[in-house]
Chains A and B, each alone.
Chain A
Amino acid sequence: MRDIAVISFAQTPARRSVPELNEVEMLMPAVHDALTQVDMTIDDIGFTCSGSTDYLAGTAFSFVSTLDAVGPWPPIQESHVEMDGAWALYEAWVKLQLGEIDTALVYAYAKSSPGDLPMVLTRQLDPITVGPLWADSVSLAALQARSLIDSGKATEADMAEVVARSRKDALNNPKAQLAWDRSAEDHLATDYHIAPLRKGDCPPITDGAAAIVLAAGDVARSKVKRPAWIRGIDHRVDPIHLGLRDLTVSESTRIAAEKAGVADGKVDIAELHAPFSHQELILKEAIGLGDDVAINPSGGALAANAMMTAGLIRIGEVATRISNGEADRGVAHATSGPCLQQNLVTVLEGDA
């Protein structure tokens, strides 16, 4: 395997709504910040890959126009995934493994705000037996939370601890959307939103963008003091029908974590893409993280959850903490689909 590292990461401030900018204008600061940090321009990039979805933009092939944010002239090598940017990063990593290029730019963005997001997300369900019921994303997550509570593996109080800790940690994240210091008891005193979930158990609706630059071997070493090397990356998928899954576990995450080699060394930090509080508990078990691992120091998806982007941000948050010396080895997780259907796990490591 070729050594590939994250050498820069940038994200826009997470906001509930960014009506005054179009997607290109919203994305440009992230792309240019990521390139500028390592003194590069698009001319230095061998491959560009993005993650976004037409279902939010309401326009077919919407990602084509967003390429204006990178200035693709003369013509560039690029690709797009209709998935979170973490999967775009996976494609770029594969491309770098082929050895033809040494650098890649990965970006992701979403304006989650213009439509009725939980209902838009029903369009990813089975179109014949589930989609027509309009079971929104929050309701499906609530079914999963109830399963977890019924199983005895977690309580509403456990979920409340995740909520309180995440929003408190987000106070140290200047890009976060929801950040405050409120106790788990305060959270439990609020009304149910879609029982057993309270509003606080759910992620915010976020508009935002993020970008990462990847580089191979000596190019990475020449650009930054401490590259965050990708030591393992794998993604897996569970069946689309919730009834075919045990909702209290995430089998696809477990397999991805195993294949990515999470257990091959000590984990200092983990950024888990858990949009709903109970999902962090499921992921922690699936990945096999101990209580000594700092989980979501950024505040995670409960603090900011730009669609198609929050998974890529998890990788960027871990990479940043490795490059600045806060951590030596970390795990980043990204998810997509209802109730953690698709999962990607990345293991990042700094040189000793």
Chain B
Amino acid sequence: MCDAVTDQTEVGEILSAPLIIEYPFKRTTGPIIGAFLTGLREQVLVGSKAEDGRVIVPPAEFDPVSGNDLTELVEVGPEGVITTWAWVTEPHAKHALDDPFAWILVKLDGADTPMLGALKAPTMDVVATGARVKPVWADEREGHIDDIAHWVLVEGDAA
């Protein structure tokens, strides 16, 4: 039985076991975020109008400056322009795309703030700040951010 006693200084003999941890919360999305998610299901993108007139996407429930409730929704997109990007050479299993892709912040037409997405592109060389992109919708949509399967460059606009 003494065999089970391990020497703590020898790294190779440390007992270990996998630990899978999840935080399976459910959230109520409310009238603003809920409208955004419902819009995704219908292939419509919406933002909220802030007190200073800016259109925020995804919609903010509260004014970023004053903190007051925001209630006015505005349709935006579906196309937009890349405001910044990063090229992932080795996608993670949890990422939406299996091949190398670009994270982008995309400012949709009619919006004043950009949102995050994954851009499918053949190489890093065709991605550029300012390039136009459009969403590719998932075949089955359920009112979730993943209803946008990914983004692609608008043809003829590749840098």
Partner of A127, one of B25, B64, B129: B25
Q: Are A134 and B14 in contact (CB under 8 A)?
A: no
Interface residues of A (CB under 8 A from B): 19-21, 58, 114, 116, 119, 123, 127-130, 132-136, 139-140, 142-147, 150, 192-197, 239, 241-244, 247
Determine if B88 and A194 form an interchain contact, defined as CB atoms under 8 angstroms apart. yes
Say yes or no: is B116 at the interface (Cβ < 8 Å to chain A): yes
Residue of B with least CB distance to A130: B116
What residues on B are CB-neighbors of A134 within 8 Å?
92, 94-95
Interface residues of B (CB under 8 A from A): 8-9, 11, 14, 16, 19, 21, 23, 25, 27, 29, 33, 36-37, 56-58, 60, 64, 83-89, 92, 94-96, 103, 105, 107, 113-118, 124, 129, 144-146
Name B60's contact: one of A133, A196, A241, A247 (CB within 8 Å): A241
25 A-B residue pairs with Cβ-Cβ distance under 8 Å, sorted by A, are A20-B14, A21-B8, A119-B92, A119-B94, A128-B145, A133-B95, A133-B96, A133-B145, A133-B146, A135-B103, A142-B86, A143-B84, A143-B103, A143-B105, A146-B84, A146-B85, A146-B86, A147-B83, A194-B86, A194-B89, A195-B87, A195-B89, A241-B58, A242-B114, A243-B56
Least Cβ–Cβ distance between A5 and chain B, in angstroms? 36
Bound Cα distance A144, B25 (Å): 29
* Docked pose: A197 CA to B110 CA in angstroms: 31
Report A147 CB to chain B, min CB distance, Å.
Answer: 4
Q: How far apart are A247's CB and chain B's nearest CB, in angstroms?
A: 7
Please state if B88 and A19 are interface contacts (CB–CB under 8 Å). no
Determine if B64 and A123 form an interchain contact, defined as CB atoms under 8 angstroms apart.
no
A147, B87: Cβ atoms closer than 8 Å: no
Name B27's contact: one of A20, A128, A145 (CB within 8 Å): A128
With A20-B9, A20-B14, A146-B129 already in contact, the answer to whether A129 and B27 are too (CB < 8 A) is no
Other than the known A119-B92, A150-B129, A194-B89, what 8 A-B pairs have Cβ atoms closer than 8 Å? A132-B144, A133-B95, A134-B92, A143-B84, A150-B84, A195-B87, A242-B114, A242-B116
Q: Are A139 and B84 in contact (CB under 8 A)?
A: no
A128 to B26, CA, bound (A): 10
Tell whether, in the assembled complex, residue A139 and residue B85 are in contact, meaning their CB atoms are under 8 Å apart: no
In the complex the two chains form, what is the Cα distance from A171 to B21 in whole Å?
38
Known contacts being A129-B145, A130-B116, is A192 close to B94, with CB within 8 Å? no
A134 to B27, CA, bound (A): 18
Q: How far is the CB of A152 from chain B (nearest CB, A)?
A: 12
A128 in contact with B85 (CB, 8 Å): no
Contact A19 B11 (CB under 8 A): yes
Q: Pick the contact of A133: B19, B37, B89, B117 (CB < 8 A).
A: B117
B contact residues around A128 at 8 Å (CB):
27, 29, 33, 37, 145
A240–B117 alpha-carbon span in the complex (Å) = 16
Closest partner residue, chain A, to B148 (CB atom): A133
- Asked whether, in the complex, the Cβ of A133 is within 8 Å of the Cβ of B118, the reply is yes
Q: Do residues A132 and B146 form an inter-chain contact, with CB atoms below 8 A?
A: yes
Find B115's partner among A58, A123, A140, A243 (CB 8 Å cutoff).
A243
Q: What B residues does A132 contact at CB under 8 A?
A: 144-146
The chain B residue with its CB closest to the CB of A21 is B8
In the complex, are the beta carbons of B116 and A58 less than 8 A apart?
no
Residues of A within 8 A of B83 (CB): 147
In the complex, what's the smallest C-beta–C-beta distance from A188 to chain B, in angstroms?
17
Contacts of B11 in A (CB 8 A): 19-20
Shortest distance between the CB of B104 and any CB in chain A (Å)? 8
Decide: B86 and A196 in contact? CB cutoff 8 A: yes
Contact (Cβ within 8 A) A129 B84: no
Determine how close the nearest CB of chain A comes to the CB of B82; give it in whole angstroms.
Answer: 10
Chain B residues near A142: list those with CB within 8 A.
Answer: 86-87, 103
Are A58 and B36 closer than 8 Å at their CB atoms?
A: no
Q: Is the CB of A244 within 8 A of B86?
A: no
B105 lies within 8 A of A242 (CB): yes
Residues of A within 8 A of B37 (CB): 128
Q: Kindly list chain B residues whose C-beta atoms are within 8 Å of the C-beta of A196.
A: 86
Selected from B16, B113, B145, the residue in CB contact (under 8 A) with A244 is: B113
Shortest distance from the beta carbon of B107 to any chain A beta carbon, whole Å? 8
| Complex CA distance for A273 and B33, rounded to whole angstroms | 34
Among residues of A, the one whose C-beta sits closest to the C-beta of B10 is A20
Q: For residue B50, which residue of chain A has the nearest CB?
A: A244
Residues from chain A with a CB closer than 8 A to the CB of B64 are 239, 244
Task: Specify the chain A residue showing the minimal Cβ separation from B6.
Answer: A20
Q: Within 8 Å CB of A242, what residues of B? A: 105, 114, 116
Q: Would A243 and B85 count as touching, CB distance under 8 A?
A: no
